[in-house]
């Protein structure tokens, strides 16, 4: 049996997060209603190779003393790449032991009883078997959610047509199934998260990952991961890199920002089954109980979102509902009919901030019945307000 090495050669650059910067993080997170998950430094090691939790303990004490709330803790980031990046190796079995140490530390603070514990946060599952070794060593018992990262391709070589190529989009499907199979085989009941994800690695594809065309990868990922049992998807990134939701120079919203906001307004957590199409071809559809608190739609409403990555328009019917059921349609197209546009049209209206703090009202659907036309290379949200679906009540 190959022995896992747990060594570091101390060639890493030291980066210090000050107390004032940590305060600013919490101030921002609290002001926008987010939950903070903090990534702890796994590369702080003892002479015997075990994780040194002293720095984490200092941080936790400060967090409690400051009255800050935490959404969760992550230990390490992409540990399967440590050897290549840092000349440091932390084996999967050792990482499980390190999580035991983390859990013991968290147990000293009742304030953290309900926080998430995330790991191993490896790179793509196709890279190596680190995730499998972590799970087989009991990793599913030391975390609340098993995490891995997912990107479709290398941002330095990505092409426009890749962003709506069914074969490339289906890379996610294969990786989801692999993750599900590995956890089932190990008998763990831990949740699965995409702990970091976007369109392309190397900070995204320049001129592509921040344009309208990137929405196909993002929306398909949200739908497919929810349908196949993933509890959370962590987007990379809000700011910074070519895949950011906000423009790096102006902070103006990129197209994926508007998609994300509309998704949050219309799509609830409960996933419904879509029989046709199969969502692996050029017409992809997903359905959820509608989000009612943010949208104002009545309980029992249903939201269906459809991607048409074909070159021709398609007509969508919802045969499970009455023929005269009102349908509220939110269609999103690129400005100037350009897939590389940094602006998106919602039912023909260009989406822009009204001022530095105010987003426009997105809940202005086109109302119709029976069928919905989805233009070529576009996506739509369709809400059925009077569906009165019992499981959504």
- Return the DSSP state at 67: T
Rounded Cα distance, 106 and 180, in Å = 28
Secondary structure (3-state) at 372: strand
Copy the structure tokens of residue 70. Answer: 């935490």
Rounded Cα distance, 372 and 332, in Å = 13
Q: List all residues 6 or more positions away from 151 whose beta carbon is below 8 Å from its beta carbon.
A: 124, 197, 198, 199, 200, 201
299 is catalytic: no
Chain mean position to CA 352: 24
Question: Is the CB of residue 211 less than 8 Å from the CB of residue 255?
Answer: yes
Across the strands, what pairs with 368? 327
For residue 368, give the nearest of 326, 322, 306 by alpha carbon.
326
Instruction: Considering the candidates 74, 116, 153, 196, report the single residue annotated as catalytic.
Output: 196
Rounded Cα distance, 78 and 180, in Å = 19
- Return the DSSP state at 81: G
Question: Is the CB of residue 109 less than 8 Å from the CB of residue 118?
Answer: no
Instruction: Considering the candidates 74, 78, 153, 291, report the single residue annotated as catalytic.
Output: 78
196 is catalytic: yes
Instruction: Catalogue the active-site residues.
Output: 78, 196
């Amino acid at each position: 049996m190959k022995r896992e090495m747990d060594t570091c050669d101390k060639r890493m650059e030291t980066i210090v997060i000050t107390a004032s910067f940590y305060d600013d993080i919490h101030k921002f997170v609290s002001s926008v209603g987010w939950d903070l998950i903090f990534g702890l430094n796994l590369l702080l090691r003892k002479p015997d190779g075990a994780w040194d939790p002293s720095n984490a303990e200092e941080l936790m004490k400060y967090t409690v003393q400051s009255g800050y709330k935490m959404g969760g803790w992550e230990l390490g980031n992409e540990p399967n790449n440590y050897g290549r990046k840092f000349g440091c190796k932390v084996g999967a079995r050792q990482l499980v032991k390190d999580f035991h140490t983390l859990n013991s530390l968290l147990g000293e603070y009742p304030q953290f009883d309900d926080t998430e514990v995330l790991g191993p946060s490896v790179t793509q599952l196709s890279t190596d078997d680190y995730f499998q070794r972590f799970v087989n060593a009991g990793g599913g018992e030391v975390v609340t959610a098993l995490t891995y990262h997912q990107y479709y391709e290398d941002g330095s070589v990505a092409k426009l047509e890749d962003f709506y190529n069914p074969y490339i989009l289906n890379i996610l499907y294969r990786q989801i199934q692999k993750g599900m199979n590995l956890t089932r085989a190990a008998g763990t009941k831990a949740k699965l998260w995409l702990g970091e994800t976007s369109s392309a690695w190397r900070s995204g594809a320049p001129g592509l990952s921040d344009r309208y065309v990137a929405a196909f990868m993002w929306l398909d990922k949200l739908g497919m991961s929810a349908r196949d049992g993933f509890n959370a998807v962590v987007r990379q990134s809000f700011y910074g890199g070519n895949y950011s939701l906000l423009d790096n120079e102006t902070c103006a919203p990129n197209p994926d920002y508007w998609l994300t906001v509309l998704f949050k307004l219309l799509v609830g957590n409960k996933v419904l089954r879509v029989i046709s199409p199969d969502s692996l071809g050029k017409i992809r559809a997903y359905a959820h109980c509608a989000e009612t608190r943010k949208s104002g739609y009545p309980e029992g409403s249903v939201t269906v979102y459809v991607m048409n990555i074909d070159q021709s328009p398609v007509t969508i019917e919802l045969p499970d509902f009455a023929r005269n059921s009102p349908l509220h349609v939110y269609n999103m197209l690129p400005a100037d009919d350009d897939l590389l546009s940094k602006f998106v049209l919602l039912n023909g209206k260009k989406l822009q901030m009204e001022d530095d703090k105010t987003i426009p009202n997105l809940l202005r659907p086109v109302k119709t019945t029976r069928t919905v036309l989805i233009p070529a290379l576009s996506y739509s949200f369709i809400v059925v307000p009077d569906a009165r679906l019992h499981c959504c009540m």
